[in-house]
Chains A and B, each alone.
Chain A
Amino acid sequence: AQTVTQSQPEMSVQEAETVTLSCTYDTSENNYYLFWYKQPPSRQMILVIRQEAYKQQNATENRFSVNFQKAAKSFSLKISDSQLGDTAMYFCAFMTLTGNQFYFGTGTSLTVIP
């Protein structure tokens, strides 16, 4: 069975600072994809960043980057220069290549403080 764990239900960060959200997962698969999704208050869930497990290089998207540790089954999200618009619920998700299902963590609620 695949599981995704986000151990930080809530976090806060000062505007312009850097914050890291944690995610661990469990799988016996070797090939899979990992994702971070963002759900702003009362708004649609959108993809922040994706990582292919076969790629050793960590993915980056502007101020968002990941630290992917395959052996440790860890996939953390780093947000640099935090902005007020980053306030949202963040979900870590996992998908194997053998199926079309996603497995989501329970989410981390991030608040950026002005």
Chain B
Amino acid sequence: DVKVTQSSRYLVKRTGEKVFLECVQDMDHENMFWYRQDPGLGLRLIYFSYDVKMKEKGDIPEGYSVSREKKERFSLILESASTNQTSMYLCASSFPGGAHYEQYFGPGTRLTVT
């Protein structure tokens, strides 16, 4: 089974702190994604990566950056956390093609910024 893990299930940080959210997948997927999930807004794409050291902005990249130094790991960075970044963050991975295009999700990190 594909496994996508995220470093923390719950995280509480203070305004202005630098925050790192880590995601690791074990299926050699080329593509990795970071979403934030908010009630009534669904999942919104922050960044995605289709290869090591490659990244593309999603719909809401402001206030975030990412790093992909190894194929299996994709990090989301909040350079200076703000209260409006309190949310659920979901990581996902997928193959870029083939018979199965679906994304596999991690368990999520619920981040609270106070």
Name B's interface SS.
strand
Q: Is the CB of B42 within 8 A of A100?
A: no
* B103 adjacent to chain A (CB < 8 Å): yes
Q: Is the CB of B50 within 8 A of A100?
A: yes
A110, chain B: closest CB distance, angstroms:
15
Q: How large is the interface on A (under 10, 10 to 19, 20 to 34, 35 or more residues)?
A: 20 to 34
- Binary interface encoding of chain B residues 79-99 relative to chain A, with 1 for a CB under 8 A from any of its CBs, else 0: 000000000001010101000
Q: Is the CB of A45 within 8 A of B42?
A: no
Complex contacts, B44 vs chain A, CB 8 Å? 104
- Binary interface encoding of chain A residues 91-114 relative to chain B, with 1 for a CB under 8 A from any of its CBs, else 0: 101010000111011110000000
Further 6 A-B residue pairs, CB within 8 A, beyond A46-B105, A50-B101: A44-B107, A45-B108, A100-B50, A101-B58, A102-B33, A104-B44
Interface on A for B, CB 8 Å cutoff? 6, 9, 33, 35, 37, 43-47, 50, 91, 93, 95, 100-102, 104-107
